[in-house]
Structure 1
Protein backbone atom coordinates (compact mmCIF):
# COMPACT_ATOMS: atom_id res chain seq x y z
CA UNK A 1 0.00 0.00 0.00
CA UNK A 2 1.49 3.35 -1.11
CA UNK A 3 1.65 6.15 1.41
CA UNK A 4 1.62 9.81 0.24
CA UNK A 5 4.08 11.86 2.21
CA UNK A 6 4.18 15.64 2.19
CA UNK A 7 7.17 17.11 0.37
CA UNK A 8 9.72 18.62 2.74
CA UNK A 9 9.41 22.39 3.14
CA UNK A 10 11.86 24.33 1.01
CA UNK A 11 13.99 27.07 2.42
CA UNK A 12 13.52 30.61 1.15
CA UNK A 13 16.93 30.38 -0.53
CA UNK A 14 15.87 27.25 -2.45
CA UNK A 15 12.49 28.74 -3.34
CA UNK A 16 14.07 31.96 -4.62
CA UNK A 17 16.53 29.98 -6.73
CA UNK A 18 13.69 27.91 -8.20
CA UNK A 19 11.72 31.06 -9.07
CA UNK A 20 14.77 32.81 -10.47
CA UNK A 21 14.56 35.81 -8.13
CA UNK A 22 16.62 37.17 -5.29
CA UNK A 23 15.88 35.99 -1.75
CA UNK A 24 15.19 39.60 -0.68
CA UNK A 25 12.31 39.75 -3.19
CA UNK A 26 10.37 37.23 -1.09
CA UNK A 27 10.24 39.79 1.72
CA UNK A 28 9.13 42.68 -0.56
CA UNK A 29 5.82 44.26 0.27
CA UNK A 30 4.55 46.60 -2.46
CA UNK A 31 3.96 50.16 -1.23
CA UNK A 32 1.79 51.37 -4.13
CA UNK A 33 -1.56 50.02 -2.80
CA UNK A 34 -0.89 51.76 0.51
CA UNK A 35 -0.04 55.03 -1.27
CA UNK A 36 -3.11 54.71 -3.48
CA UNK A 37 -5.38 54.29 -0.46
CA UNK A 38 -3.88 57.37 1.15
CA UNK A 39 -4.31 59.38 -2.05
CA UNK A 40 -7.89 58.08 -2.41
CA UNK A 41 -8.73 59.58 0.98
CA UNK A 42 -7.16 62.90 -0.03
CA UNK A 43 -9.07 62.94 -3.33
CA UNK A 44 -12.35 62.15 -1.58
CA UNK A 45 -11.74 65.07 0.78
CA UNK A 46 -11.20 67.46 -2.15
CA UNK A 47 -14.28 66.09 -3.95
CA UNK A 48 -16.42 66.55 -0.83
CA UNK A 49 -15.71 70.30 -0.92
CA UNK A 50 -15.61 70.59 -4.73
CA UNK A 51 -18.24 68.30 -6.19
CA UNK A 52 -17.53 69.11 -9.84
CA UNK A 53 -13.74 68.71 -9.73
CA UNK A 54 -12.33 66.29 -12.30
CA UNK A 55 -8.84 64.81 -12.21
CA UNK A 56 -7.13 67.97 -13.53
CA UNK A 57 -8.39 70.32 -10.84
CA UNK A 58 -7.87 67.65 -8.17
CA UNK A 59 -4.25 67.28 -9.28
CA UNK A 60 -3.79 71.07 -8.98
CA UNK A 61 -5.45 71.15 -5.56
CA UNK A 62 -3.22 68.34 -4.26
CA UNK A 63 -0.14 69.39 -6.24
CA UNK A 64 0.27 65.96 -7.84
CA UNK A 65 0.61 64.68 -11.40
CA UNK A 66 -2.74 64.64 -13.20
CA UNK A 67 -2.07 61.14 -14.59
CA UNK A 68 -1.62 59.81 -11.07
CA UNK A 69 -4.86 61.45 -9.95
CA UNK A 70 -6.69 59.97 -12.94
CA UNK A 71 -5.26 56.48 -12.31
CA UNK A 72 -6.33 56.43 -8.66
CA UNK A 73 -9.76 57.86 -9.47
CA UNK A 74 -10.29 55.12 -12.05
CA UNK A 75 -8.96 52.47 -9.66
CA UNK A 76 -11.51 53.38 -6.97
CA UNK A 77 -14.29 54.56 -9.34
CA UNK A 78 -14.20 58.14 -8.06
CA UNK A 79 -16.21 60.36 -10.38
CA UNK A 80 -17.38 63.98 -10.19
CA UNK A 81 -21.10 64.62 -10.30
CA UNK A 82 -22.60 64.65 -13.78
CA UNK A 83 -23.76 67.91 -15.27
CA UNK A 84 -27.40 68.50 -15.97
CA UNK A 85 -28.68 69.16 -19.45
CA UNK A 86 -29.69 72.77 -20.07
CA UNK A 87 -33.48 73.28 -20.24
CA UNK A 88 -35.19 74.88 -23.23
CA UNK A 89 -36.67 78.41 -23.23
CA UNK A 90 -40.08 78.08 -24.88
CA UNK A 91 -40.87 81.83 -24.62
CA UNK A 92 -38.02 82.66 -26.97
CA UNK A 93 -39.08 80.17 -29.62
CA UNK A 94 -40.33 81.65 -32.88
CA UNK A 95 -38.91 85.14 -32.34
CA UNK A 96 -37.20 86.78 -35.29
CA UNK A 97 -33.40 87.17 -34.95
CA UNK A 98 -32.12 90.53 -33.69
CA UNK A 99 -30.02 92.78 -35.89
CA UNK A 100 -27.47 93.22 -33.07
CA UNK A 101 -24.27 91.41 -34.14
CA UNK A 102 -21.96 89.18 -32.15
CA UNK A 103 -19.07 91.54 -31.32
CA UNK A 104 -17.08 89.13 -29.16
CA UNK A 105 -16.57 86.23 -31.56
CA UNK A 106 -12.85 85.87 -32.25
CA UNK A 107 -11.88 88.92 -30.19
CA UNK A 108 -8.74 88.71 -28.02
CA UNK A 109 -8.66 90.64 -24.74
CA UNK A 110 -5.87 91.15 -22.23
CA UNK A 111 -7.50 93.20 -19.49
CA UNK A 112 -10.63 93.15 -17.30
CA UNK A 113 -13.84 95.11 -17.95
CA UNK A 114 -13.71 94.84 -21.72
CA UNK A 115 -16.39 92.16 -22.21
CA UNK A 116 -19.05 91.04 -19.77
CA UNK A 117 -21.21 88.07 -20.73
CA UNK A 118 -24.66 87.63 -19.25
CA UNK A 119 -27.42 85.06 -19.01
CA UNK A 120 -29.98 83.72 -16.56
CA UNK A 121 -31.08 80.28 -15.51
CA UNK A 122 -33.93 78.81 -13.49
CA UNK A 123 -34.07 76.47 -10.52
CA UNK A 124 -37.16 74.34 -9.75
CA UNK A 125 -38.39 75.05 -6.23
CA UNK A 126 -41.49 73.40 -4.73
CA UNK A 127 -43.64 73.66 -7.84
CA UNK A 128 -42.34 77.09 -8.81
CA UNK A 129 -39.13 78.49 -10.27
CA UNK A 130 -36.41 80.74 -8.90
CA UNK A 131 -34.39 82.65 -11.50
CA UNK A 132 -30.74 83.68 -11.28
CA UNK A 133 -29.18 86.25 -13.64
CA UNK A 134 -25.41 86.78 -13.70
CA UNK A 135 -22.72 88.77 -15.49
CA UNK A 136 -19.20 87.40 -15.90
CA UNK A 137 -16.01 89.18 -16.90
CA UNK A 138 -14.58 87.19 -19.82
CA UNK A 139 -10.96 87.99 -18.93
CA UNK A 140 -10.97 87.30 -15.17
CA UNK A 141 -13.91 84.83 -15.28
CA UNK A 142 -15.33 86.53 -12.18
CA UNK A 143 -19.06 86.81 -11.62
CA UNK A 144 -19.22 90.59 -11.31
CA UNK A 145 -22.96 90.94 -10.72
CA UNK A 146 -26.03 88.80 -10.05
CA UNK A 147 -29.69 88.99 -9.10
CA UNK A 148 -32.33 86.49 -7.95
CA UNK A 149 -36.07 86.72 -8.60
CA UNK A 150 -39.17 84.56 -8.75
CA UNK A 151 -39.89 86.09 -12.18
CA UNK A 152 -37.80 86.11 -15.35
CA UNK A 153 -38.37 89.55 -16.78
CA UNK A 154 -36.47 92.67 -17.74
CA UNK A 155 -36.11 93.73 -14.11
CA UNK A 156 -34.13 90.55 -13.37
CA UNK A 157 -31.41 91.21 -15.96
CA UNK A 158 -31.30 95.01 -15.54
CA UNK A 159 -30.87 94.71 -11.77
CA UNK A 160 -28.06 92.19 -12.22
CA UNK A 161 -26.32 94.69 -14.51
CA UNK A 162 -26.83 97.57 -12.07
CA UNK A 163 -25.45 95.43 -9.23
CA UNK A 164 -22.31 94.79 -11.27
CA UNK A 165 -21.89 98.47 -12.15
CA UNK A 166 -21.96 99.37 -8.44
CA UNK A 167 -18.65 97.53 -7.94
CA UNK A 168 -16.88 97.57 -11.31
CA UNK A 169 -16.26 100.05 -14.15
CA UNK A 170 -18.62 99.71 -17.11
CA UNK A 171 -17.32 97.32 -19.77
CA UNK A 172 -17.00 98.18 -23.42
CA UNK A 173 -19.27 95.31 -24.52
CA UNK A 174 -22.11 93.40 -22.84
CA UNK A 175 -22.80 90.07 -24.56
CA UNK A 176 -25.90 87.88 -24.17
CA UNK A 177 -28.13 85.49 -26.04
CA UNK A 178 -31.27 86.68 -27.82
CA UNK A 179 -33.63 86.09 -24.91
CA UNK A 180 -36.60 88.43 -24.72
CA UNK A 181 -35.24 90.02 -21.52
CA UNK A 182 -32.04 91.12 -23.28
CA UNK A 183 -33.93 92.26 -26.39
CA UNK A 184 -36.12 94.62 -24.36
CA UNK A 185 -35.94 98.35 -24.96
CA UNK A 186 -35.38 98.97 -21.23
CA UNK A 187 -32.28 96.80 -21.09
CA UNK A 188 -30.81 98.15 -24.33
CA UNK A 189 -31.40 101.74 -23.19
CA UNK A 190 -29.65 100.97 -19.91
CA UNK A 191 -26.60 99.73 -21.83
CA UNK A 192 -26.67 102.88 -23.95
CA UNK A 193 -26.80 105.13 -20.87
CA UNK A 194 -23.48 103.64 -19.70
CA UNK A 195 -21.95 103.72 -23.21
CA UNK A 196 -21.88 99.91 -23.32
CA UNK A 197 -22.15 98.25 -26.72
CA UNK A 198 -24.68 95.39 -26.87
CA UNK A 199 -23.59 92.11 -28.44
CA UNK A 200 -25.70 89.01 -29.04
CA UNK A 201 -25.14 85.42 -30.01
CA UNK A 202 -26.81 84.18 -33.14
CA UNK A 203 -30.21 82.66 -32.55
CA UNK A 204 -30.14 79.04 -31.30
CA UNK A 205 -26.35 79.20 -30.83
CA UNK A 206 -25.73 78.70 -27.08
CA UNK A 207 -22.05 77.89 -27.69
CA UNK A 208 -21.55 81.58 -28.59
CA UNK A 209 -22.22 82.37 -24.93
CA UNK A 210 -20.17 79.44 -23.68
CA UNK A 211 -18.72 81.14 -20.59
CA UNK A 212 -22.13 81.51 -19.00
CA UNK A 213 -23.29 78.08 -20.18
CA UNK A 214 -20.27 76.55 -18.46
CA UNK A 215 -20.76 78.59 -15.28
CA UNK A 216 -24.39 77.54 -14.83
CA UNK A 217 -23.60 73.90 -15.51
CA UNK A 218 -21.10 73.78 -12.66
CA UNK A 219 -23.14 76.10 -10.43
CA UNK A 220 -26.25 73.90 -10.42
CA UNK A 221 -24.23 70.77 -9.90
CA UNK A 222 -22.36 72.13 -6.88
CA UNK A 223 -25.37 73.90 -5.37
CA UNK A 224 -27.31 70.63 -5.22
CA UNK A 225 -31.06 70.27 -5.58
CA UNK A 226 -32.76 73.57 -4.67
CA UNK A 227 -35.39 71.82 -2.56
CA UNK A 228 -32.65 70.78 -0.11
CA UNK A 229 -33.16 74.28 1.30
CA UNK A 230 -36.43 74.59 3.28
CA UNK A 231 -37.04 78.30 2.69
CA UNK A 232 -36.47 80.69 -0.19
CA UNK A 233 -34.20 82.78 2.01
CA UNK A 234 -31.98 79.78 2.73
CA UNK A 235 -31.82 78.95 -0.98
CA UNK A 236 -30.79 82.52 -1.89
CA UNK A 237 -28.16 82.45 0.88
CA UNK A 238 -26.81 79.16 -0.51
CA UNK A 239 -26.66 80.68 -4.01
CA UNK A 240 -24.71 83.65 -2.65
CA UNK A 241 -22.26 81.28 -0.92
CA UNK A 242 -21.87 79.28 -4.12
CA UNK A 243 -21.06 82.39 -6.18
CA UNK A 244 -18.55 83.46 -3.52
CA UNK A 245 -17.02 79.97 -3.63
CA UNK A 246 -16.80 80.13 -7.44
CA UNK A 247 -15.10 83.54 -7.39
CA UNK A 248 -12.75 83.02 -4.44
CA UNK A 249 -12.08 79.31 -3.91
CA UNK A 250 -12.93 77.15 -6.91
CA UNK A 251 -9.98 76.53 -9.24
CA UNK A 252 -10.87 77.61 -12.77
CA UNK A 253 -9.34 75.27 -15.36
CA UNK A 254 -8.48 78.11 -17.76
CA UNK A 255 -6.75 80.13 -15.01
CA UNK A 256 -5.45 77.36 -12.73
CA UNK A 257 -6.61 79.46 -9.78
CA UNK A 258 -9.86 81.04 -8.55
CA UNK A 259 -11.07 84.01 -10.65
CA UNK A 260 -10.72 86.54 -7.82
CA UNK A 261 -7.12 85.45 -7.20
CA UNK A 262 -6.37 85.88 -10.90
CA UNK A 263 -7.99 89.34 -10.90
CA UNK A 264 -5.88 90.37 -7.89
CA UNK A 265 -2.71 89.21 -9.65
CA UNK A 266 -3.58 91.25 -12.74
CA UNK A 267 -4.34 94.35 -10.63
CA UNK A 268 -1.02 93.95 -8.77
CA UNK A 269 0.89 93.57 -12.05
CA UNK A 270 -0.70 96.77 -13.41
CA UNK A 271 0.06 98.64 -10.18
CA UNK A 272 3.69 97.47 -10.21
CA UNK A 273 4.07 98.43 -13.86
CA UNK A 274 2.57 101.88 -13.21
CA UNK A 275 4.93 102.45 -10.25
CA UNK A 276 7.95 101.46 -12.33
CA UNK A 277 6.87 103.81 -15.13
CA UNK A 278 6.46 106.66 -12.63
CA UNK A 279 9.91 106.01 -11.18
CA UNK A 280 11.47 106.03 -14.65
CA UNK A 281 9.65 109.25 -15.53
CA UNK A 282 10.76 110.94 -12.31
CA UNK A 283 14.35 109.81 -12.86
CA UNK A 284 14.39 111.13 -16.43
CA UNK A 285 12.94 114.44 -15.25
CA UNK A 286 15.55 114.75 -12.49
CA UNK A 287 18.40 114.08 -14.94
CA UNK A 288 17.37 116.90 -17.28
Structure 2
Protein backbone atom coordinates (compact mmCIF):
# COMPACT_ATOMS: atom_id res chain seq x y z
CA UNK A 1 0.00 0.00 0.00
CA UNK A 2 2.72 2.48 0.96
CA UNK A 3 4.56 1.99 -2.34
CA UNK A 4 1.41 2.71 -4.33
CA UNK A 5 0.51 5.82 -2.36
CA UNK A 6 3.96 7.19 -3.16
CA UNK A 7 3.03 7.08 -6.86
CA UNK A 8 0.23 9.63 -6.42
CA UNK A 9 1.09 13.10 -7.72
CA UNK A 10 -1.24 15.80 -6.32
CA UNK A 11 -0.23 18.30 -9.03
CA UNK A 12 -0.53 15.99 -12.02
CA UNK A 13 -1.57 18.05 -15.06
CA UNK A 14 -4.06 15.56 -16.51
CA UNK A 15 -5.17 13.21 -13.72
CA UNK A 16 -6.88 14.28 -10.50
CA UNK A 17 -5.84 12.69 -7.20
CA UNK A 18 -9.19 10.89 -7.18
CA UNK A 19 -8.60 9.38 -10.64
CA UNK A 20 -5.01 8.41 -9.82
CA UNK A 21 -6.22 6.54 -6.73
CA UNK A 22 -8.86 4.74 -8.80
CA UNK A 23 -6.25 3.61 -11.33
CA UNK A 24 -3.85 2.49 -8.58
CA UNK A 25 -6.61 0.66 -6.72
CA UNK A 26 -6.19 2.56 -3.46
CA UNK A 27 -8.53 4.59 -1.29
CA UNK A 28 -7.69 8.28 -1.09
CA UNK A 29 -7.98 8.12 2.67
CA UNK A 30 -4.71 6.16 2.72
CA UNK A 31 -2.94 9.35 1.64
CA UNK A 32 -3.81 11.06 4.90
CA UNK A 33 -2.13 8.58 7.20
CA UNK A 34 -0.15 10.74 9.62
CA UNK A 35 -1.63 10.60 13.16
CA UNK A 36 -2.40 13.84 14.99
CA UNK A 37 0.10 14.31 17.88
CA UNK A 38 -1.07 15.15 21.40
CA UNK A 39 0.30 15.05 24.95
CA UNK A 40 0.39 11.49 26.39
CA UNK A 41 -1.92 12.38 29.29
CA UNK A 42 -4.48 13.91 26.92
CA UNK A 43 -4.27 10.85 24.65
CA UNK A 44 -5.05 8.61 27.62
CA UNK A 45 -7.91 10.86 28.75
CA UNK A 46 -9.44 10.92 25.27
CA UNK A 47 -9.21 7.14 25.04
CA UNK A 48 -11.10 6.79 28.34
CA UNK A 49 -13.67 9.37 27.22
CA UNK A 50 -14.11 7.67 23.85
CA UNK A 51 -14.75 4.27 25.42
CA UNK A 52 -17.31 5.80 27.78
CA UNK A 53 -19.12 7.84 25.12
CA UNK A 54 -19.22 4.94 22.68
CA UNK A 55 -21.35 3.11 25.25
CA UNK A 56 -23.16 6.22 26.55
CA UNK A 57 -23.34 8.71 23.64
CA UNK A 58 -25.84 11.07 25.26
CA UNK A 59 -23.75 11.90 28.33
CA UNK A 60 -22.05 15.28 28.52
CA UNK A 61 -19.32 17.30 30.17
CA UNK A 62 -20.57 17.08 33.76
CA UNK A 63 -20.87 13.29 33.57
CA UNK A 64 -17.30 13.05 32.31
CA UNK A 65 -15.99 15.30 35.08
CA UNK A 66 -17.67 13.04 37.66
CA UNK A 67 -16.35 9.93 35.91
CA UNK A 68 -12.76 11.16 36.18
CA UNK A 69 -13.37 12.23 39.78
CA UNK A 70 -14.45 8.66 40.59
CA UNK A 71 -11.10 7.58 39.12
CA UNK A 72 -9.32 9.96 41.55
CA UNK A 73 -8.41 12.32 38.73
CA UNK A 74 -9.54 15.91 39.13
CA UNK A 75 -10.17 17.63 35.80
CA UNK A 76 -12.24 20.71 35.03
CA UNK A 77 -15.03 21.09 32.47
CA UNK A 78 -12.95 23.50 30.37
CA UNK A 79 -10.36 20.83 29.66
CA UNK A 80 -13.04 18.25 28.96
CA UNK A 81 -14.66 20.56 26.41
CA UNK A 82 -11.33 21.17 24.70
CA UNK A 83 -10.64 17.45 24.40
CA UNK A 84 -14.17 16.77 23.14
CA UNK A 85 -13.63 19.38 20.45
CA UNK A 86 -10.38 17.70 19.40
CA UNK A 87 -12.24 14.39 19.24
CA UNK A 88 -14.90 15.86 16.98
CA UNK A 89 -17.60 15.40 19.60
CA UNK A 90 -19.11 18.83 19.03
CA UNK A 91 -22.65 17.59 19.50
CA UNK A 92 -21.93 16.46 23.07
CA UNK A 93 -21.19 19.89 24.48
CA UNK A 94 -22.88 23.24 24.02
CA UNK A 95 -22.05 24.67 20.62
CA UNK A 96 -22.83 27.90 18.84
CA UNK A 97 -26.44 28.06 17.69
CA UNK A 98 -26.54 27.42 13.95
CA UNK A 99 -29.52 29.70 13.41
CA UNK A 100 -27.78 32.64 15.07
CA UNK A 101 -24.63 31.86 13.09
CA UNK A 102 -26.56 32.51 9.88
CA UNK A 103 -26.64 28.84 8.85
CA UNK A 104 -30.36 28.21 9.27
CA UNK A 105 -30.74 27.44 5.56
CA UNK A 106 -28.38 24.46 5.93
CA UNK A 107 -30.26 22.83 8.84
CA UNK A 108 -32.52 20.12 7.43
CA UNK A 109 -35.35 18.15 9.08
CA UNK A 110 -35.06 14.54 10.21
CA UNK A 111 -36.69 12.51 7.43
CA UNK A 112 -36.41 8.99 8.85
CA UNK A 113 -39.11 9.11 11.55
CA UNK A 114 -41.84 6.71 10.47
CA UNK A 115 -40.11 6.02 7.15
CA UNK A 116 -40.35 2.41 5.96
CA UNK A 117 -36.86 1.45 4.84
CA UNK A 118 -37.28 -1.49 2.49
CA UNK A 119 -34.44 -1.50 -0.05
CA UNK A 120 -30.71 -0.88 -0.41
CA UNK A 121 -29.52 2.63 -1.27
CA UNK A 122 -32.75 4.10 0.05
CA UNK A 123 -31.06 5.62 3.11
CA UNK A 124 -27.40 6.00 4.03
CA UNK A 125 -26.24 7.33 7.38
CA UNK A 126 -22.89 8.98 7.95
CA UNK A 127 -20.80 10.14 10.87
CA UNK A 128 -17.22 10.91 11.94
CA UNK A 129 -15.55 9.27 14.92
CA UNK A 130 -12.32 9.63 16.87
CA UNK A 131 -9.83 6.74 16.58
CA UNK A 132 -7.22 6.44 19.38
CA UNK A 133 -3.75 5.16 18.43
CA UNK A 134 -0.52 4.36 20.27
CA UNK A 135 1.05 7.75 19.62
CA UNK A 136 -1.77 10.06 18.66
CA UNK A 137 -5.13 9.72 17.00
CA UNK A 138 -6.95 9.94 13.69
CA UNK A 139 -10.53 10.34 12.51
CA UNK A 140 -12.72 7.95 10.57
CA UNK A 141 -15.84 8.64 8.56
CA UNK A 142 -18.19 6.04 7.12
CA UNK A 143 -21.44 5.65 5.22
CA UNK A 144 -23.75 2.78 6.17
CA UNK A 145 -26.71 1.51 4.18
CA UNK A 146 -29.54 1.37 6.72
CA UNK A 147 -31.47 -1.46 5.03
CA UNK A 148 -28.60 -3.94 4.77
CA UNK A 149 -26.21 -2.43 7.38
CA UNK A 150 -23.46 -2.64 4.76
CA UNK A 151 -20.63 -0.09 4.91
CA UNK A 152 -20.84 1.66 1.55
CA UNK A 153 -17.67 3.68 1.98
CA UNK A 154 -15.21 4.74 4.66
CA UNK A 155 -12.05 6.76 5.08
CA UNK A 156 -9.37 7.60 7.61
CA UNK A 157 -7.86 11.06 7.90
CA UNK A 158 -6.12 13.48 10.23
CA UNK A 159 -8.54 16.39 9.84
CA UNK A 160 -12.26 17.04 10.13
CA UNK A 161 -12.54 18.88 6.82
CA UNK A 162 -15.66 18.91 4.67
CA UNK A 163 -13.49 18.19 1.63
CA UNK A 164 -12.32 14.90 3.13
CA UNK A 165 -15.90 13.81 3.91
CA UNK A 166 -16.96 14.65 0.37
CA UNK A 167 -14.07 12.65 -1.12
CA UNK A 168 -15.14 9.55 0.81
CA UNK A 169 -18.77 10.10 -0.25
CA UNK A 170 -17.83 10.45 -3.92
CA UNK A 171 -15.84 7.21 -3.76
CA UNK A 172 -18.82 5.45 -2.13
CA UNK A 173 -21.18 6.68 -4.85
CA UNK A 174 -18.73 5.65 -7.59
CA UNK A 175 -18.64 2.12 -6.16
CA UNK A 176 -22.29 1.62 -5.16
CA UNK A 177 -24.49 4.20 -6.85
CA UNK A 178 -26.11 7.03 -4.92
CA UNK A 179 -28.69 6.81 -2.13
CA UNK A 180 -32.04 8.56 -2.07
CA UNK A 181 -31.39 10.05 1.39
CA UNK A 182 -28.27 10.72 3.47
CA UNK A 183 -28.75 11.23 7.21
CA UNK A 184 -26.15 12.92 9.41
CA UNK A 185 -25.82 14.97 12.56
CA UNK A 186 -25.59 18.78 12.54
CA UNK A 187 -21.79 18.82 12.48
CA UNK A 188 -20.07 21.66 10.64
CA UNK A 189 -19.10 19.36 7.76
CA UNK A 190 -22.73 18.51 7.02
CA UNK A 191 -24.11 22.03 7.46
CA UNK A 192 -21.54 23.53 5.08
CA UNK A 193 -22.55 25.10 1.79
CA UNK A 194 -20.25 22.74 -0.15
CA UNK A 195 -21.80 19.59 1.33
CA UNK A 196 -25.43 20.62 0.93
CA UNK A 197 -24.85 21.93 -2.59
CA UNK A 198 -23.19 18.68 -3.68
CA UNK A 199 -26.10 16.58 -2.39
CA UNK A 200 -28.55 18.93 -4.05
CA UNK A 201 -26.72 18.58 -7.37
CA UNK A 202 -26.80 14.79 -7.00
CA UNK A 203 -30.54 14.94 -6.16
CA UNK A 204 -29.93 13.28 -2.78
CA UNK A 205 -32.26 14.32 0.02
CA UNK A 206 -30.61 15.63 3.20
CA UNK A 207 -31.79 14.43 6.60
CA UNK A 208 -30.32 15.61 9.91
CA UNK A 209 -30.57 14.34 13.47
CA UNK A 210 -32.30 16.53 15.99
CA UNK A 211 -29.80 18.51 18.09
CA UNK A 212 -28.51 16.32 20.90
CA UNK A 213 -30.39 13.22 19.65
CA UNK A 214 -27.60 10.66 19.24
CA UNK A 215 -30.04 7.79 18.72
CA UNK A 216 -31.36 9.33 15.49
CA UNK A 217 -28.25 7.89 13.83
CA UNK A 218 -28.22 4.62 15.78
CA UNK A 219 -27.15 2.46 12.82
CA UNK A 220 -23.75 4.06 12.41
CA UNK A 221 -23.32 4.30 16.20
CA UNK A 222 -23.71 0.52 16.45
CA UNK A 223 -21.05 0.05 13.80
CA UNK A 224 -18.65 2.36 15.67
CA UNK A 225 -19.22 0.33 18.84
CA UNK A 226 -18.46 -2.92 17.02
CA UNK A 227 -15.36 -1.51 15.34
CA UNK A 228 -13.90 0.02 18.49
CA UNK A 229 -14.58 -2.75 20.99
CA UNK A 230 -13.79 -5.62 18.61
CA UNK A 231 -10.70 -4.10 17.01
CA UNK A 232 -9.52 -0.53 17.78
CA UNK A 233 -9.23 -0.76 21.57
CA UNK A 234 -7.67 -4.23 21.40
CA UNK A 235 -5.15 -3.37 18.67
CA UNK A 236 -4.01 0.27 18.88
CA UNK A 237 -2.20 1.06 15.64
CA UNK A 238 1.32 2.46 15.36
CA UNK A 239 0.56 4.55 12.26
CA UNK A 240 -2.14 5.36 9.75
CA UNK A 241 -1.24 2.63 7.27
CA UNK A 242 -1.45 -0.04 9.97
CA UNK A 243 -4.78 1.43 11.06
CA UNK A 244 -6.05 1.49 7.48
CA UNK A 245 -5.24 -2.20 6.95
CA UNK A 246 -6.78 -3.19 10.28
CA UNK A 247 -10.00 -1.29 9.64
CA UNK A 248 -10.16 -2.72 6.11
CA UNK A 249 -9.93 -6.26 7.52
CA UNK A 250 -12.51 -5.57 10.24
CA UNK A 251 -15.00 -4.12 7.75
CA UNK A 252 -14.59 -7.29 5.67
CA UNK A 253 -15.24 -9.40 8.76
CA UNK A 254 -18.25 -7.27 9.68
CA UNK A 255 -19.73 -7.68 6.20
CA UNK A 256 -19.36 -11.44 6.02
CA UNK A 257 -19.71 -12.66 9.61
CA UNK A 258 -21.84 -10.39 11.75
CA UNK A 259 -25.58 -11.02 11.51
CA UNK A 260 -28.20 -8.44 12.43
CA UNK A 261 -31.90 -8.82 13.22
CA UNK A 262 -32.42 -9.93 9.60
CA UNK A 263 -30.46 -13.14 10.31
CA UNK A 264 -28.32 -12.33 7.27
CA UNK A 265 -24.93 -10.77 6.78
CA UNK A 266 -24.84 -7.20 5.41
CA UNK A 267 -23.27 -8.45 2.17
CA UNK A 268 -25.93 -11.15 1.67
CA UNK A 269 -28.85 -8.84 2.44
CA UNK A 270 -27.56 -6.15 0.10
CA UNK A 271 -26.79 -8.62 -2.73
CA UNK A 272 -30.03 -10.58 -2.35
CA UNK A 273 -32.18 -7.50 -2.73
CA UNK A 274 -30.14 -6.36 -5.74
CA UNK A 275 -30.75 -9.75 -7.43
CA UNK A 276 -34.51 -9.48 -6.80
CA UNK A 277 -34.54 -6.00 -8.32
CA UNK A 278 -32.68 -7.29 -11.39
Give the TM-score range, shorter chain.
0.5 to 0.7
Residue 266 of structure 1: aligned partner: 273
Q: TM-score, normalised by structure 1?
A: 0.61
On the 8 A contact 1:118/1:174 being kept in 2, the answer is yes
Residue 20 of structure 1: aligned partner: none
Query: Are 1:114 and 2:115 counterparts?
Result: no
1:187 to 168, 192, 195: 195
Query: Are 1:103 and 2:104 counterparts?
Result: no
On the 8 A contact 1:226/1:235 being kept in 2, the answer is no
Secondary structure of the structure 2 residue equivalent to 1:207? helix
Residue 94 of structure 1: aligned partner: 95
String of CA shifts for 1:12-57, please: whole Å, max 9, x gaps.
Answer: xxxxxxxxxxxxxxxxxxxxxxxxxxxxxxxxxxxxxxxxxxxxxx
Which whole-Å CA distance do the structure 2 matches of 1:90 and 1:267 have between them? 36
Which whole-Å CA distance do the structure 2 matches of 1:199 and 1:212 have between them? 14
Which whole-Å CA distance do the structure 1 matches of 2:229 and 2:132 have between them? 13
On the 8 A contact 2:122/2:181 being kept in 1, the answer is yes
Which whole-Å CA distance do the structure 2 matches of 1:186 and 1:228 have between them? 34
Note the 1:128-143 alignment, pairs <5 A: 128-143=136-151
Are the structure 2 counterparts of residues 189 and 248 from structure 1 closer, same or farther at C-alpha, using a change threshold of 3 Å? same
Note the 1:152-167 alignment, pairs <5 A: 152-167=160-175
Are the structure 2 counterparts of residues 255 and 84 from structure 1 closer, same or farther at C-alpha, using a change threshold of 3 Å? farther
For structure 1, the 5+ residue unaligned runs are 1-82, 272-288
Count of residue pairs the alignment pairs up: 188
* TM-superposed deviation, 1:140: 1.1
Are the structure 2 counterparts of residues 202 and 175 from structure 1 closer, same or farther at C-alpha, using a change threshold of 3 Å? same
On the 8 A contact 1:134/1:145 being kept in 2, the answer is yes
Q: TM-score, normalised by structure 2?
A: 0.63
* TM-superposed deviation, 1:90: 5.1
On the 8 A contact 1:84/1:221 being kept in 2, the answer is no
Note the 1:155-234 alignment, pairs <5 A: 155-225=163-233, 228-234=236-242
Which structure has the bigger radius of gyration? 1
On the 8 A contact 1:118/1:212 being kept in 2, the answer is yes
Residue 6 of structure 1: aligned partner: none
Report the RMSD for the aligned CA atoms in angstroms. 2.0
Which whole-Å CA distance do the structure 1 matches of 2:177 and 2:238 have between them? 37
Secondary structure of the structure 2 residue equivalent to 1:104? coil
Which whole-Å CA distance do the structure 2 matches of 1:219 and 1:100 have between them? 29
* Higher helix proportion (structure 1 or 2): 1
String of CA shifts for 1:174-233, please: whole Å, max 9, x gaps.
Answer: 100111111111111111121111110000000011111111011111113276333321
Are the structure 2 counterparts of residues 95 and 106 from structure 1 closer, same or farther at C-alpha, using a change threshold of 3 Å? farther
* TM-superposed deviation, 1:257: 1.9
Residue 262 of structure 2: aligned partner: 255
Which whole-Å CA distance do the structure 1 matches of 2:222 and 2:182 have between them? 18
